[in-house]
Structure 1
Amino acid sequence: MTEPQREFDIVLYGATGFVGKLTAQYLAKVGGPARIALAGRSVAKLRDVRESLGDAASGWELIEAEAGQPSTLNDMAARTRVVVATVGPYTKYGLPVVAACAAAGTDYADLTGETMFIRESADLFGKEAADNGARIVHSCGFDSIPSDLTVYALYKRALADGAGQLGETNFVLRGFAGGVSGGTAASMIEVMHTSSTDPEARRAMSDPYTLSTDRAAEPELGHQSDTPWRRGRDIAPELDGIWTGAFVMGATNSRIVRRSNALLDWAYGRSFRYSENMSVGSSVVAPVAAALGTAANAAVLGLGSRYFDKLPRSLVERVLPKPGTGPSERARENGHYTVETYTTTTSGARYRATMSQQGDPGYKATSVLLGECGLALALDRDALSDLRGVLTPATALGDALLARLPGAGVTMKTERL
């Protein structure tokens, strides 16, 4: 397929938001030869952002575009190879941007953790995007790259070793320091609002394969808990002595990982089972903390999906961080995360993939991951997969990210246990 000539390599849409500014800073630092433009509702605010970035961004063009004016989005998408979108909640603002990119054959990356937005994106624009050669890549931040990429790395390692397909696979958040971003909080509100007002959405959210490319083709593996409460040793001998509980983003991340398996024609395996946990340590109160955390998560997801919309919206928004806000630079720098994903293959071989990164996961780390996804889509075209349509980070960018991320300060390794 011959690629059309474009004026820009990357347009960062939503550059005046908190994570948008951090992503712009990262691109100004490492973007090198990429032709970059900033887009958003206010050219004046975009100009302020550009001026804060120094000489590296002084020549970046500013584009006025907003979700309420589709013609501006169409023009934006037609001018660039890639749109990197940080404007959320995506359920509210994202679909017009996806529509513009699908129509123009423009690649797209975002930070969404909103499962039903991804489902709607695929249903409405997946075929058009594929027909026009566009890669629509959702969940390119801390949600859900560590989940998606560690499983992909395990698949690649087992394949290279001839060790069979992946079976029981478990993600464990081993270390974490940071907060919930305002954008993530706003996305959580939209997810709960949709679930509590739409019974069909609530049913879909309870289906572990709701993001599958072909639900009828998925294997019937019985109940799969996205966030079980378990002793570490029940996951892997290396975790003996610790307790694990629910990880709040497990429900979203697990569906992305299962979509990757389906997009790859179930290459991970027909008996692939996946769940996510977070470590709560090994103290005497750890099992209680794990149980309470898991119960609280289940209550929020279960009761919230039914009754959230009955709560005063202003009350909910008052206790959560506001979109466009975030922690101090010192807090962002001091944040970090480490994840370990364990798998046992169909031949009985055991592997572990470890991924770690410095920086607040929801802010600094996420801006690095999103920036690298945008750069990979724009500059590493030969390393990308041949798939088109609504994709996942692993299926669109897996090999490119495995090559790129170490240079961005992300530690990634796989080992046979």
Structure 2
Amino acid sequence: MAEPLTVYFDATRLLARGTHSTPTGIDRVDLAYVEALHRHPDFVLRLIGFDALGPRVLTPRKAEALIEALLQRWRQRAPARTQRHPVFTWLQSPELQTRPALPPSAAPGRLQRLRQSLRPGVSTLRAPRLRALPDDGSAVYLNTSHGQMYRRVVARWLERSGIASVFFVHDLIPIEYPEYNRPREAARHAARLQTISRQARQVLVNSQATATALHRYWESRGARLPPIHALPLGVDVPQPGTQPLHTPRPYFVMLGTLEPRKNHLLILQCWRRLIEQDPERAPRLVLIGRRGWENQAVFQLLDRAETLKRHVVECRDLSDTEVADLIRGARALLMPSHAEGYGLPVVEALSLGTPVLASDIAAHREVGGDYAQYLDALDGPGWMQAIATLLNRDSPHCRQWQDRLQNYRVPDWAMHFSSALPLLHSALSGELA
């Protein structure tokens, strides 16, 4: 029997973001890989984190504690809150009421204490230095978040160590759409992709759309082209509560950070128009996600527009069950993004039998197939019309859509890892051409 393969998993992002009450899509991928490798008999998982001088490796005890704490916090294995989020009371009221105030974020508790013990500052871990790799070269470095790859300390270590490296690239949005990102992100992402091109034995991506964009980018710059494998992400289908959410007024949901490329501005303008046309019949809108960056027009609308305060609500720090309840009870999930690498909320909504209105981009069509409806991300009237057709759940249009959703097949992590994990072994035999 072959010896287990040692995988040095770059957990720098997990250590930095672990105290957040809800994970992003990339956080979920990180955690899924950590959990799969931790439990697999063919692999020995070692968690590492980079500071200014290089990698440190967590002791098995601290790695185990981190994994368990993240699973409890992000997979909701910890006890649920004693009271449901106030958005449910607001939605179940037949009267149009001013939206509830956002509750304070949940206390980090055990995970915060663990992170403090691991990272007492922003740049150092209380963990031993990773001094040496196995002499026989039977180890792989795995980075599934690509966040740290712009740092020179990471690139230098990879070059000096010569370790076989595998990377997951989620998208090229900072380069293709710099207007939707922070000012320095385009340069950082270019540095990430340069390091990955030079060091990768295998590159994993979440969709064929990302694979095509990545290949085109490297080829246009004469960069080395490592093997690229498009592996659709698995989805941990959130389990809704036992009681379906019945609301006297229809509502729609958006799921994701309130950042410019998610195009909340279009939907809020549509909602303002719907309310102006008929405030009593206008549906409600639930925005699930934290506020992001450089999105002042959206924030000002939410904070100052009196028209929206009885119809639009923000929520954050929801449990997976609460998110599932909100999605399942909605007339549809709205996903008008200007750009996506994968479109995880589309898959989550379809898995719960909820219709999806999505922008007509390659990533959405790849994951949504014939089960979603696609509209131009700038077509406000088109979005308003599509929303109007979904207000009556008993209409022939809605019933036909619901029937079609019964055939939707949810991509799962077992299928993903059946392809991804063998690539870690094959990375040992790959060469840097």
TM-score range, shorter chain: 0.3 to 0.5
Max Rg structure: 2
TM-score by length of 1: 0.34
Greater helix percent: which structure?
A: 1
Higher relative contact order (CA 8 A, sep 6+): 1
**TM-score, length of structure 2 as denominator length:** 0.33
